[in-house]
Structure formats: structure tokens, C-alpha cells
Structure 1
Amino acid sequence: MRLLKKKRGAVGIGTLIVFIAMVLVAAVAAAVLINTSGYLQQRAEATGRQTTQEVSTGIKIDAVTGYAPSSNNMTLMTIQVSLNAGSTPIDLNQTKIYLDNGQKQVVLSYGNAKATISGDMFDTSSDAWNSSKVDGTHFGILIVQDADSSLSGTIPTLTTGDIALLTINLTAVFGGVEPRTPITIRVVPEFGAPGYTKVITPTAYGLSDTDKIVDLK
């Protein structure tokens, strides 16, 4: 009987050790699962924020206007842009403009030419039309509305309520644009949805000296 009691005691201690080991293993496994679930939750939240930003962020083209000093040649063009509803701010310094007239496709970057509009949008004495900066590969910015001065800063940023005209020298880009010419325009920000439109120049431009503005959109 004494021998049986000793064996029972030994078995009980062994069982206790195994039980403690199982508890420790379970605790370690639970800690790993908790850490992993926390990491995955953070990744999911970050991915969700990025996805929401991509979906909501975007730029839209509100108007396209040309300047034709003669009846057969349009030399300048502005693209009026603003943010989509609910969009986060867009850095115009990292925005590209894609232009295609059916014969040539170009990509324009911001040329560090910027000014606030003070009357005539096609006043070429404005820095927004500086020919050394607004050329065949670069566009300028003419600020129309900028309550928070985000466009006026070192990095021109389009925020809610802002309106900007992107200035394009069509002579430098295409050698000018004749009547009946289709032009595809895409304004592509670094993040978010691009602005897109396709315009066709009219059959003839204004014949008088006072009729040089061409509303394309």
C-alpha cells in the first residue's frame, strides 16, 4: 500500500508539471495571437485609410479656355481646376498634365511659374505666363481663389474651395492649335482620381480684334 501511495504521488506531480507546461504554452500562444491580431488590425486600418484617400481624393476640370490672336491659330490655353467633393489636398507641384492633339502627346510638369489673377487671364506679362518657365514641357498656375493661401506657398497645394487656372503655352507645346482640332486633356495628381476632358476647337476663331477668347468647355 505504501508503494502505491508513492506511485500515486509521483504520477500526481508529473501531471501537475504537464498541466503547468500546457498552461504556459497556451499563454505564450495567446500572447502571440493577441500581438498578431493587433498588428493585423493596425494594417487593416492603415489600408482602409489609404483606400478611402484614393477613392475620395481627386481633381476635376471645371473649364477650358483658349486664346486665339488670329483666325487660324490658338496660342494659349487655361485649364480651370478644383478638388472633387470630399477630396484631400492635392500638391500641384507633383501634378502632371497630359495633352494629346491626335498627332502629338506631351506631358507637362509644374514650371514654378505662379501668380494671382488680376484681371485678364491671358495677360502674358504675368509670371504665370513667363515664357522661360511655361514652355513645351511645363505649365504655370494662375490663382483665382485661395482663402487659406495654400496655393501661394512654396509648394502650391489645392485645398477645398481653391480655384486655379493651369496655364499652357500651346505655341511651345504644339506649335499652336488650328480650328477643328481635338485635344484630349488629363490632369493627373500624385494620388487620387485624375481630371479628364476632351475638347474640339471651333470651325473658326474670332475674326475681330476683340473676339480672341475661345470657350472650349
Structure 2
Amino acid sequence: MKANKTQIMKKDTRAQVGIGTLIIFIAMVLVAAVAAAVLIQTSGVLQQKAQSTGKQATQEVSSNLMVKNIEGVRAKNNATSMSSTIDLLKLKVGLNVGSAPVDVNQVVVSITDGTTANNLVYAGNTKSYASVGGSDGKMDDFSDSASTNLGLLLVNETTVSAAFNNSDHYYTAEKIRDEDSSFSQSNPVMNTGDLITVYIATTSDTAVSGGYDWIGSTDTSAALMTSGLDLVPRTVVNIVLTPESGAATTADFVTPSSYGVKETVALYP
């Protein structure tokens, strides 16, 4: 029989030593530290951007105005003497469920009758039409009274660097429901559950030349100012409400084929 062979493993107890090995070790540690710092910094920046983007995206989909209905009002002298055009629009506006608060002061209302287009800002907005570096852009004589502001919208001018009609530059608003008192003429903020009326002047040249004394309960005997719009029967009207953040809201309608003897006409929905 053959004797069992025994294998003996040689132990190597020597290690790499010297300044070269130390330099390589230190270099590896430094590279790992730099890489870790870059990764940490990059991940921090990405996190901040992700949070910011998420917040903006949430605002875009949640801050939505909603037009409940629209009524048109004709200028008049009395019950039998009325304008042939719609001269004031009353938009009942609320917020969608879950919407973030909306500052009406920053909402732009665009309206067109297919021929003329007006881009309107809130009458209390101090910046949109202001002189360079100034804060004199709000409607002249703007006050804390919604009814007074509506009258000024229909019959007055505003002068900044030049004079222009209020009716084709501004809109006004009045609260209907405001449980938390967040809405005022100077600080018109809407929260969920709030309901307001937005007034848009659509006074035509025909109404101006007719010299009508009233639009609804508003005294216009001081002489109406034209808005450039002409809402005769069968007019296609497009209205877009664009808030500071969030999706724009659109309301399209066609005026009736005849206004008959109606002073107030239901237009939307």
C-alpha cells in the first residue's frame, strides 16, 4: 500500500510595505470620500428639485376656478327701452373641491366676441398697468364698495401714463359667500367654499350712443364707456380665467337668437 501523502501549505506572512503602498491607500480613501460627497450633494439637489416640482404640479392641478353660471344684463332707460346688446356679464365663480386659495387680484380674464379681444385685470391690481417701478395701476377712485367699483367700471376712465376706458382694461368682483371673511375689495382671496360674482363690462358702441341710464341697479347716467365688444344676438363668446397658478378655466357660449323683452339673459351653462 502507498503511504498517504501529506501536503503542507506554506504560510506567507509577508505584507506589502513602503511609501508607495501608503500613497495608493490614501488615494483610494480620498477618491471614495470625493465620490461620496458628490453623491450626497447631487441627491440633495435632486430631492429639493423633486419637492419643488411636486409642489408646483399640485398647485397646477388643484388651484382651479369654476364658472357656475353666466348672466348677461342689458342697458336700459326703463322696462321698454333697452339696449340691443348685452352690456354687462355677471359670472358666478367658485373653486373646485380641494383647490388651493386663489388670489383674484392676480387672475386675468380674457374675453372675445370673435372680433375684439380684451384682457382684463382686477380693478384693485396696483401693478399690471402701473408706470415703471410704480404701484399706481389700479382703477382710479377704486374703493371698498363693490357697487361703487362696478359703477366706475362702466362709466369712468383711468389715467396712468395715458387715459383709457375702465371697461376694456378691468373687471370687478363682489362676494356672495365668504364664511372666513377672506374676500374684500382690497384683498380678494378665495378659499374653498367661497363664491363670488365677477363683473365684466361688455358695453357696445350702440349702448354708449343710446345714452342709457341704468345697467341693472347701477346708475350709468354719467355716460357709459365702450368696451369695444358687441354682444348682439347669435354672438360666439369665449371667456378664459387664468389664475396665478393652476389651470385656466374656459367658458364658451353663444348668445340667444333674440333677447326679446328680457333685461337679464341666461347665457351659461
Return the TM-score normalized by structure 2.
0.67
- Give the residue type in structure 2 aligned to 1:163: L
Distance 1:42 1:88, change over 3 A: same
**Cα deviation, residue 96, structure 1:** 1.1
**What is residue 99 of structure 1 aligned with on the other side?**
111
**Cα deviation, residue 139, structure 1:** 0.5
**What is residue 142 of structure 1 aligned with on the other side?**
174
**Cα deviation, residue 151, structure 1:** 1.6
1:187 paired with 2:228, answer no
What CA distance in whole angstroms lies between the structure 2 residues aligned with 1:178 and 1:34?
65
CA RMSD of aligned residues (A): 2.4
1:62 paired with 2:62, answer no
Is the radius of gyration larger for structure 1 or structure 2? 2
**What is residue 265 of structure 2 aligned with on the other side?**
214
**Cα deviation, residue 28, structure 1:** 2.4
What CA distance in whole angstroms lies between the structure 2 residues aligned with 1:152 and 1:186?
23
Distance 1:214 1:152, change over 3 A: same
Q: Considering fraction of residues, name the structure with more helix.
A: 1
- Give the residue type in structure 2 aligned to 1:87: S
Cα deviation, 1:74-120, whole Å, max 9, x if unaligned, reads 22111111112222111111111111111111111111257677xxx
The ranges of structure 1 where at least 4 consecutive aligned residues each deviate by more than 4 angstroms after the TM superposition are: 113-117
- Give the residue type in structure 1 aligned to 2:240: R
What CA distance in whole angstroms lies between the structure 2 residues aligned with 1:116 and 1:150?
16
Contact 2:150–2:199 under 8 Å retained in 1: yes
Picking from 156, 162, 178, the partner of 1:132 is 156
What CA distance in whole angstroms lies between the structure 2 residues aligned with 1:67 and 1:115?
24
Contact 2:144–2:185 under 8 Å retained in 1: no
What CA distance in whole angstroms lies between the structure 2 residues aligned with 1:149 and 1:142?
13
Distance 1:212 1:12, change over 3 A: same
Picking from 78, 97, 121, the partner of 2:90 is 78
- Give the residue type in structure 2 aligned to 1:192: G
Q: Give the unaligned 5+ runs of structure 1.
A: 1-7, 118-124
**Cα deviation, residue 13, structure 1:** 4.3
**What is residue 120 of structure 1 aligned with on the other side?**
none
Cα deviation, 1:116-142, whole Å, max 9, x if unaligned, reads 77xxxxxxx543332337522111111
1:32 paired with 2:86, answer no
Distance 1:114 1:182, change over 3 A: farther
Picking from 200, 203, 212, the partner of 2:254 is 200
Q: Give the unaligned 5+ runs of structure 2.
A: 1-13, 77-81, 125-141, 158-165, 204-225
